[in-house]
Amino acid sequence: MSVMPAATAAWIDRRDALDAWLAGVPADAALGVDTEFMRRNTFYPQLALLQLGWNGRYALVDPLAFDIGDALRPRLAGGAAPTVMHSAGEDLEALAPLLPEGPGTLFDTQIAAAFVGMGLGVSYRALVAALVGVELDKGETRSDWLQRPLTDSQRLYATLDVVYLEPLHEQLAARLAERGRSAWHAEDCERLKRRADAREGDPQPQRGFRTAADWPRAQQALLRRILQWRDRSARTLDRPRSWLLEDALAMSLAQNPPLSLAELEQRSRGQRALRSAQRAELFELLAPAPDAAELATTAAIPAPVLGPAKKALAAMKETVDRLALELDLPAGLLCPRKVLEEYVTTGEWPDFLEGWRRGVLYDRLGGLLPDASP
């Protein structure tokens, strides 16, 4: 294993310097990109640093010094040249205000590693060690990236996060092509971009509250209404959802709505972002009972998988595991268990299994639904 080398990068805190650096990158070149961000007291991640790398040239771009979006969009959002990132989900969220639809063509090295048999969720550090033979230090993982100036250690750490994206991309792209998985990988990268651009939030957030599966539909609909309000308010105020309403309080309000604003105030003490204006808005929101239209559009919270459904789930899981082994894919990449649970309980083909997964799994799983069992 090689020792971690030194790496230097240009510090860019002016628009003209960023324009000049990007002008030196060919239009068809794969550009390595990473970010550092902070997410302590906000809903949205705060972009603190942007790292760029191509052909031995590296840049650390300071988004606190100037608006970097206008310079980045022409290079990243347009064209077919790949933007190479590792585990890009949170980075894409941090970049969303600048690149709402993400880079034009994303190549995620973590997703690629899963498709070529290297495991699910492999870290950048582990991937560099396996493919490049270099051991990276992760000592600045919990660093304060909003401080200025950054330390030499922070700059080195941030630079190394893009130094090896080029060799990783070259090796992984070749392995994907050898296995005939390039199109599958590209599809999953597009899926990741869409998920990061989910600016409206989950339309059915109550489905994640499995303990409320046996509630009356009216209470489930009211819980959905509360959770959607919490999400909208958190985005507007740029504060964590739990600062407005903790999960337990949201469930309590859905089960037993307050009879007065004073009661709501008493029950919601301690919620750091819930001020008088938000309390009044929430109280008004809780007042009307769900009508027929709201009930009809509220998806039922999935019930525990029991009886014939449990048997069907086991058969599906066995089928997925067997097929994943044949394809040399992680079973969690092919079809996570929670997606199978959704399919078994609803009988509707999950959105997650559209695309290449539908062609692989539809015929194999469809006959295993409880009502299709002999």
Amino acid at 156: L
**What percent of the chain has a predicted confidence (pLDDT) above 70?**
96
Q: How far apart (Å, rounded) are the C-alpha atoms in residues 264 and 257?
A: 8
* Nearest-5° Cα angle at 97, 82 to 189: 30
Q: What are phi and psi of 73, to 5 degrees?
A: -55, -45
pLDDT tens digits for range 234-283: 999 999 999 999 999 999 999 999 999 999 999 999 999 999 999 999 99
Provide the b/e sequence for 14-53 (b: ≥16 CB within 10 Å): eeebbeebbeebeeeebbbbbbbbbeeeebebbbbbbbbb
124-131 and 165-179 are packed helices; what angle lies between their axes, rounded to 10 degrees?
80
Sign of CA dihedral 42, 161, 191, 72: positive
Q: Hey, how many other C-beta atoms are within 10 angstroms of the C-beta on 355? A: 15
pLDDT tens digits for range 319-369: 999 999 999 999 999 999 999 998 998 899 999 999 999 999 999 999 999
Is the entire prediction scored with pTM above 0.85?
yes
Confidence of residue 373 (pLDDT cuts 50, 70, 90): very low
Domains of the chain: 10-196 (3.30.420.10), 205-297 (1.10.150), 307-369 (no CATH)
Integer angstrom CA distances of residue 72 from 23, 95, 260:
11, 10, 50
* Mean pLDDT for the stretch of residues 2-15: 79
Q: Can you give the pLDDT at residue 346?
A: 85
Checking DSSP bridges between strand 31-38 and strand 10-12, what pairing results, if any?
Answer: unpaired
Tell whether the model's pLDDT for residue 3 goes beyond 50. no
Confidence of residue 1 (pLDDT cuts 50, 70, 90): low
DSSP 3-state assignment of 289?
coil
